[in-house]
């Protein structure tokens, strides 16, 4: 099967036609296969040394990273530091601190009937790992899984997004400066490269992107029975109930929604606000937007603190859903300005949104905040249950009962109470989705484990009680088996 990844930018299949590039990809893959056992048998100190070299180069090239991301989609320098550089540095630091203990075999109990044995789990590298990275956080979402893959002792091929060419070119240069190609290889260029890579039998594919493309990646992996980690997305809901501190909720949600121009997989997608608080919430959101980005629409477009939309089709898609939703009865409270030439979408707030409006059809992935008034928590729970399982959910409430009801009657990849997005900053929490929002998780030990094979090992001493149950199954043996069955029956009462 030849997997075809449809270009996210154009929706058209792109054929590379460069047989020399395909040959180089296959040659690199084969070199990594030949080298994998050398990498697999590296010590914790050797792996840490690689991560330290990567960290050193990241800090040396920080200014280059700021310039590259500004060129690609005018990402503010502060957001590059906060959401790209610092999270990867945090992953490296956490891994350096804990890697030696993660690599130790984990001893596990042995049941009484296996007396004379000892049991353990060994964490072994998967082998060859392919990382397909997205454009929205191009540095963070390539480097963070790479840290986990290197820590676990794998050989890695990475494919940065072709939508952020300056950043992708910089990352390729950096990785080639740190790693030999038979350990970490980088392929940049047209989207057809992903098709060529997916034809190869990687042991694990780590993909971050849309649910639609994630299904294609999973299909390709299935041809080789390869494992996958799929970090996808979805419509991450927010609930602001009648007990919430509305001003605080608005401040935190405006930050989380408009960060990176709203192009964040865990961004608050839409906000359920208790009907008694909707006007207050909208007013607080407007004040916060004016404080963060400027008092007028003209000021906001000139603001250096607002990221641009990545491409023209994405700007057009957002403009279309906003215009159609306003025509369907949504109220435009803030924003609504679009400038295709500048790829600018103003921070936009819509109120009185209904579940069947265009703005609710799919994940927005842009700076548009729909506000949906509700009367009872039951209708919110029902609305969340009807949609595919989201990557994140956020609850603003001072009611323990309401919080527990929402946690017990919904599911999401992760949930934050009285804030948003910040769960990603804790490397001791797993990050990942469920159902349509993803499969598998990573960060910290969870990433190391995801890209390791958990090998069961049992060591038998000279004493082996299992010999008591060898054939022939005499009456004596049967009585021993019956006695053991009674032991199992009595346990767990």
Active site residue 420: no
**Do the domains 237-430 and 19-232+442-453 match in fold?**
no
Q: What is the mean pLDDT of residues 69-82?
A: 97
Can you give the residue ranges of every domain in the chain? 19-232+442-453, 237-430, 463-490
What tens digit of pLDDT does each residue of 143-187 get?
999 999 999 999 999 999 999 999 999 999 999 999 999 999 999
Q: DSSP letters of 65-120? A: HHHHHHHHH---HHHHIIIIIHHHHHHHHHHHHHHHHHTS-EEE---GGGTTEEEE
301 by Cβ neighbours in 10 Å (0-12 / 13-18 / 19+) ranks as middle
Active site residue 155: no
Which residue in the block uniquely carries the two structure tokens 């502060």? 78
Instruction: Give me 256's structure tokens.
Output: 């989380």
The CATH code for residues 19-232+442-453 is: 3.40.605.10
What tens digit of pLDDT does each residue of 266-305 get?
999 999 999 999 999 999 999 999 999 999 999 999 999 9
pLDDT of residue 4: 39
Per the confidence metrics, is the pTM higher than 0.85? Answer: yes
pLDDT of residue 19: 81
Contact 415, 391 (CB under 8 A): no
Q: Spot the catalytic one: 8, 91, 183, 231.
A: 231
Helices (H) and strands (E) in the chain, counts: 17, 20
pLDDT of residue 171: 98
Q: DSSP letters of 230-253? A: EE-----EEEE-TTS-HHHHHHHH
With 60 as the cut, is the pLDDT of residue 64 above it?
yes
Enumerate the H helices of 259-339 as residue ranges: 278-293, 297-302, 312-327
Give φ, ψ of 439 to 5 degrees: -150, 125
Q: Spot the catalytic one: 84, 155, 265, 420.
A: 265
Q: What is the mean pLDDT of residues 204-221?
A: 97
With 80 as the cut, is the pLDDT of residue 7 above it?
no
Q: 237-430 sits in which CATH class? A: alpha beta
Q: What's the CA gap between 418 and 387, in Å, rounded? A: 22
> How distant, in Å, are the alpha carbons of 89, 145, 256 from that of 83?
11, 15, 12
Give φ, ψ of 250 to 5 degrees: -65, -45
Residue 10: which pLDDT band, with cuts at 50, 70 and 90? Answer: very low
Contact 374, 353 (CB under 8 A): no
Give φ, ψ of 122 to 5 degrees: -100, 135
What tens digit of pLDDT does each residue of 362-417 get?
999 999 999 999 999 999 999 999 999 999 999 999 999 999 999 999 999 999 99
With 70 as the cut, is the pLDDT of residue 2 above it?
no
Please, what is the average pLDDT of the chain? 95
With 50 as the cut, is the pLDDT of residue 69 above it?
yes
- DSSP code of residue 461: -
């Amino acid at each position: 099967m030849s997997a075809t990844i449809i270009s996210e930018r154009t929706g058209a299949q792109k054929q590379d036609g460069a047989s020399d590039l395909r040959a180089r990809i296959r040659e690199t893959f084969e070199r990594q296969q030949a080298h994998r056992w050398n990498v697999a048998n590296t010590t914790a100190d050797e792996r840490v040394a690689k991560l330290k070299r990567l960290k050193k180069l990241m800090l040396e090239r920080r200014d280059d990273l700021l310039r590259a991301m500004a060129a690609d989609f005018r990402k503010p320098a502060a957001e590059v530091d906060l959401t790209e550089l610092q999270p990867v540095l945090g992953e490296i630091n956490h891994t350096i601190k804990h890697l030696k203990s993660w690599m130790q075999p984990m001893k596990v109990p042995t049941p009484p009937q296996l007396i004379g044995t000892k049991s353990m789990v060994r964490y072994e590298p998967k082998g060859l790992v392919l990382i397909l990275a997205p454009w929205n956080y191009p540095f963070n979402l390539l480097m963070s899984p790479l840290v986990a893959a290197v820590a676990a002792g794998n050989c890695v091929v990475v494919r940065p997004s072709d939508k952020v060419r300056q950043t992708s070119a910089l990352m390729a240069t950096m990785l080639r400066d740190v790693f030999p190609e038979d350990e970490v290889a980088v392929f940049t260029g047209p989207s057809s490269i992903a098709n060529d890579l997916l034809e190869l039998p990687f042991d694990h594919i780590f993909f971050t992107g849309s649910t639609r493309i994630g299904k294609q990646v999973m299909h390709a992996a299935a041809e080789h029975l390869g494992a996958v980690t799929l970090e996808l997305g979805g419509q991450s809901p927010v609930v602001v109930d009648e007990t919430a501190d509305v001003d605080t909720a608005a401040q935190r949600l405006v930050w989380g929604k408009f960060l990176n121009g709203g192009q964040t997989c865990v961004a608050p997608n839409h906000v359920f606000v208790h009907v008694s608080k909707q006007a207050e919430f909208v007013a607080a959101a407007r004040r916060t937007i004016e404080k963060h980005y400027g008092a007028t629409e003209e000021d906001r477009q000139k603001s250096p603190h607002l990221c641009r939309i990545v491409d023209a089709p994405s700007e057009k898609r957002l403009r279309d859903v906003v215009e159609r939703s306003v025509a369907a009865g949504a109220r435009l409270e803030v924003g609504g300005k679009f400038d295709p030439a500048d790829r600018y979408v103003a921070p936009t707030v819509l109120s009185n949104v209904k579940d069947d409006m265009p703005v609710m059809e799919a994940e927005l992935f842009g700076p548009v905040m729909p506000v949906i008034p509700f009367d009872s928590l039951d209708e919110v729970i029902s609305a969340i249950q009807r949609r595919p399982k989201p990557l994140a959910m956020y609850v603003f409430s001072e009611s323990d009962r309401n919080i527990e009801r929402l946690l017990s009657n919904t599911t999401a990849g992760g949930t934050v109470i009285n804030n948003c997005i910040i769960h990603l900053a804790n490397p001791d929490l797993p990050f990942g989705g469920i159902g349509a929002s993803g499969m598998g998780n990573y960060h910290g030990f969870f990433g190391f484990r995801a890209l390791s094979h958990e090998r069961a090992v049992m060591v038998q001493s000279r004493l082996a009680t299992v010999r008591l149950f060898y054939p022939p199954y005499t009456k004596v043996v049967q009585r021993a088996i019956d006695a053991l069955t009674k032991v199992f029956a009595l346990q767990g009462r």
